[in-house]
Every structure is written in structure tokens, then in C-alpha cells.
Amino acid sequence: MEKTVEELRKSEYHQQFARKLCAAFIAQQQGIRLDTAYKKVPDPIGDTWLIVAEFARAAALDDLSQQFPSPPLGPRLVV
């Protein structure tokens, strides 16, 4: 993990993403609608959900970079 828990706590992106992941988990576990589950998410969001959000973000970006590799920058040297 590249970010510290303190950085995750300060990140508005991670706060929102963690809240949505937590709500999705609650909705699935309790068999309720997502909007109802969103209301049940504790405030402030726990560090565990912030860490889960960072892992999910990193995994998604890693998967995208494998599917769509960026071309090398600059001229290629042929020896």
C-alpha cells in the first residue's frame, strides 16, 4: 500500500469510495437496497474500509495497466 492510513483519512476520494464499498457490503449481507444501506454506514468511516478502498483502487488501476499497456516514452534504442 502506497498511502498511509493518515493520508487515507484526509482523502475525500477514499472517504467516499470506502463509504460506498461499506454500503455495498451491508446491502449484500442484509439483503436491503443500497440507498438504505448507505444510511447505515457509520460516520466517520473506519480505517479498515479506507484500506479496502485503497486496495480496490490499486487493483483496478493495475488491471487496467495490464489490459492497456502504455507505449514506451521516447525513441527506442536498437543495439
| Residue whose C-alpha is closest to residue 19's, from 34, 41, 3, 4 | 41
Burial 1-17 (b: 16+ CB within 10 A, else e): eebeeeebeebeebbeb
Where is pLDDT greater, at 76 or 21? Answer: 21
The pTM score is 0.74
The per-residue pLDDT for range 44-69, each reduced to its tens digit, is 999 999 999 999 998 888 866 666 66
Q: Is the pLDDT of residue 31 over 90?
A: yes
User: What integer best gives the mean pLDDT of the chain?
Assistant: 86
